[in-house]
Amino acid sequence: MIMSTKPTQLHGFDVERIKKQFPALNSQVNGKPISFLDSAASAQKPDAVIEAMAKVQREHYANVHRGLYKYSQDTTTAFEQARHTVATFLNANSDNETIFTRNATEAINLVAASWGAENLTSDDEIILTVLEHHANIVPWHMLREKIGFKIKVVPICDDGAIDLDAYQKLLTDKVKFVGLTHMSNAMGTILPVKQMTEMAKAFGATVLIDASQAVVHMDVDVQNVDCDFLCFTGHKLYGPTGIGVLWAREDVLNNMRPYQGGGEMIEKVSFEEITYKDAPARFEAGTPAIVEAIGLGAAIDWLGQFDTADIQAHERDILDYAIQEMQKINGVTLYGPDDRASILSFNIDGVHPHDAGTIFDQMGVAVRAGHHCAQPLMQALNVSSTIRASFAIYNARNDVDRLIEAVNKVKKLFC
């Protein structure tokens, strides 16, 4: 199931310099240095993001798009620059194609409530994968309760990779929508989303990509993937919580009904008639997450100083090293295919993941223990939960060494 490659030592990637830019990583937990291995849940924030958010609040905070005075104009400029940064990051055709949401969950709910409610019927089918985060399952289940369409699920192969043959068999003219994670948050499995999008569009289906994990570890290009919707969340991308992004082509967005009503998204309001602005304002009702959007822009700018290939090589080196060292320990089961990124999901025979996670914490090693908001995947793996170590740009092999030390401590205590 697991590929084991001999780890290589990388040169020119100064992890210690990078780590020093993350204040939370330069502290201790239970008297020990922190090895933070839960970035798939939420990544730490560099000084550049913290300072960008503090700067706007210290120097010129005001509401956006509404004031003629300098504070408002300066904050509006910074806010819209962040939108431009996101659009460029995704290779969008226009800034107007990027909608700010609270997170990827709200982005998917927006698509379900606005596009889905208008375009799906009880005779239709949609396709999801067993790898999906609950955020790309629950909104469609809720909409199905109202409309009555059928949800079909793509399984995984024995090695944890997506089953493309099964996916092909599920595609018919009745399928109107396909929702795909680009990268599994529980196993790191990378889906061939460009190929899967092309396969779906051959049957006329609309495709949404959840890129929440992928944008952190690889280039994501909406033009190349050719999907209809794509979303991600800011807090996994070294940015703040409370900010996410939905991308779609401008004509698609402008033909969708607004998801929420209120200020900012209207043109004219009377008790007789209301008219709405075009995207992006159409889907940004009320005062937006101004400071958080600026923080997200700063996070993307910060990450942009590194070459994506260098990041991938660095993170792959850590992952391969972790796999190699973990395979030396008896009684440890690893989950995941060869084609994955930055996530090591495993269990220790006879030990509940929560018990292991508690011991890890005492040793200064932060991991996630649970179902990772992916209960259907856990059922497919025939487990209730796993221990997940997820690696980021600021991790190094010494974090893996501490993880292995913690696993051995757990085995000594419980086995």
Rounded to 5°, angle at Cα 85 from 79 and 88: 145
**In terms of DSSP bridges, do strands 175-181 and 206-210 run parallel, antiparallel, or are they unpaired?**
parallel
Instruction: Report d(CA 235, CA 41) in Å as an integer.
Output: 9
Name the catalytic one among 157, 231, 373, 415: 373
**Two structure tokens written together for 302:** 């910060």
Asked if 184 and 131 touch (Cβ cutoff 8 Å), the reply is yes
* 373 catalytic per annotation: yes
Backbone angles phi, psi at 219, to 5 degrees: -70, 135
Q: How many residues does the chain have?
A: 415
* CA–CA distances in Å: residue 57 to residues 44, 62, 202, 243: 21, 8, 49, 17
Instruction: Report d(CA 97, CA 91) in Å as an integer.
Output: 10
Asked if 388 and 372 touch (Cβ cutoff 8 Å), the reply is yes
* CA dihedral sign, ordered 376, 377, 382, 387: negative
Element (H, E) at 187: none
Strands (E), 140-265: 150-154, 175-181, 206-210, 229-233, 244-248
Instruction: Report d(CA 279, CA 401) in Å as an integer.
Output: 49
Residue 58's closest CA among 47, 39, 74?
Answer: 74
Residue 198's closest CA among 161, 167, 219?
Answer: 167
Asked if 257 and 205 touch (Cβ cutoff 8 Å), the reply is no
Asked if 377 and 130 touch (Cβ cutoff 8 Å), the reply is yes
* CA dihedral sign, ordered 70, 76, 80, 82: positive
- Catalytic amino acids? 373
